A and B are shown apart, each in its own frame.
Chain A
Amino acid sequence: DAGVIQSPRHEVTEMGQEVTLRCKPISGHNSLFWYRQTMMRGLELLIYFNNNVPIDDSGMPEDRFSAKMPNASFSTLKIQPSEPRDSAVYFCASKVGGSNTEAFFGQGTRLTVV
């Protein structure tokens, strides 16, 4: 298995532009997480899906952020419009449903908004 695949690896965009981050979870995993990592705030949970349904989106910072999971093999995180303070590394992770299972992370997308 190729693991969790995120794209793009790096994204540089101008303030005000729309940004879409993509994630392909590991096949058979039915839980998917989007995290944002910065030096100041660490690894913050943005949203958690279970069986393609958003379970908890309380970590989504503002209405500018939205996430979808149209099927079990694909999820997107969209920022519209983007702002410089959104600059961070965004990680997607997936795991088998149920407790005490390992979360597998993608390599992340480094977003820079200028």
Chain B
Amino acid sequence: TQLLEQSPQFLSIQEGENLTVYCNSSSVFSSLQWYRQEPGEGPVLLVTVVTGGEVKKLKRLTFQFGDARKDSSLHITAAQTGDTGLYLCAGENAGNMLTFGGGTRLMVKP
């Protein structure tokens, strides 16, 4: 089983602060995806990173894939209350199977 460890598990910050969420594994993935989940809904894709060292930006969100394709980070600049939610990383293996990390539950307070 390919395990993905996310940290921190919980994060509570004030609006306007910056934060970084980490996703680590001992396994190599063909790609890594980040999803966001809101209460009562299924996860929704934010971004896919494929190449080692790749950096992608989505407005205030910056995603990075580690050089060895085993880890990834999500950085949010100037967090807003609308960023509150559960952030999940998911690794895809060569067989196209998608395995999720435990998630980081983010609360942004006004």
A residues near B (Cβ < 8 Å) are 4, 31, 33, 35, 41-45, 48, 50, 55-56, 58, 91, 93, 95, 97-108
**B48 surroundings in chain A (CB, below 8 A):** 100, 102
For the A-B complex, the count of residue pairs with Cβ-Cβ distances under 8 Å equals 65
Instruction: Other than A100-B30, A108-B40, give 10 A-B pairs with Cβ distance below 8 A.
Output: A42-B103, A48-B97, A56-B95, A58-B1, A91-B42, A100-B50, A101-B96, A103-B90, A105-B41, A108-B41
Q: Is the interface of A mostly helix, strand, loop or mixed?
A: strand
**A4 surroundings in chain B (CB, below 8 A):** 42
Q: For the complex, give the distance between the alpha carbons of A97 and B42 in Å.
A: 20
Contact B31 A99 (CB under 8 A): yes
Closest to A59 in B: B1
- Given A33-B98, A35-B100, A50-B96; A99-B42 close (CB under 8 Å): no
**A107 surroundings in chain B (CB, below 8 A):** 40-42
Closest to A43 in B: B100
B residues near A (Cβ < 8 Å) are 1, 30-31, 33, 40-45, 48, 50, 88, 90, 92, 94-103
Q: For the complex, give the distance between the alpha carbons of A104 and B97 in Å.
A: 14
- Given A31-B96, A33-B98, A42-B103; A106-B1 close (CB under 8 Å): no
Contact A99 B96 (CB under 8 A): yes
Contact B97 A42 (CB under 8 A): no
Closest CB pairs A-B (n = 5): A105-B42, A42-B102, A43-B100, A102-B45, A100-B31
Q: For the complex, give the distance between the alpha carbons of A52 and B96 in Å.
A: 14
Contact A43 B103 (CB under 8 A): yes
**B102 surroundings in chain A (CB, below 8 A):** 41-42
Closest to A103 in B: B98
A20 to chain B, nearest CB (A): 19
**A91 surroundings in chain B (CB, below 8 A):** 42-43
Q: For the complex, give the distance between the alpha carbons of A100 and B90 in Å.
A: 11
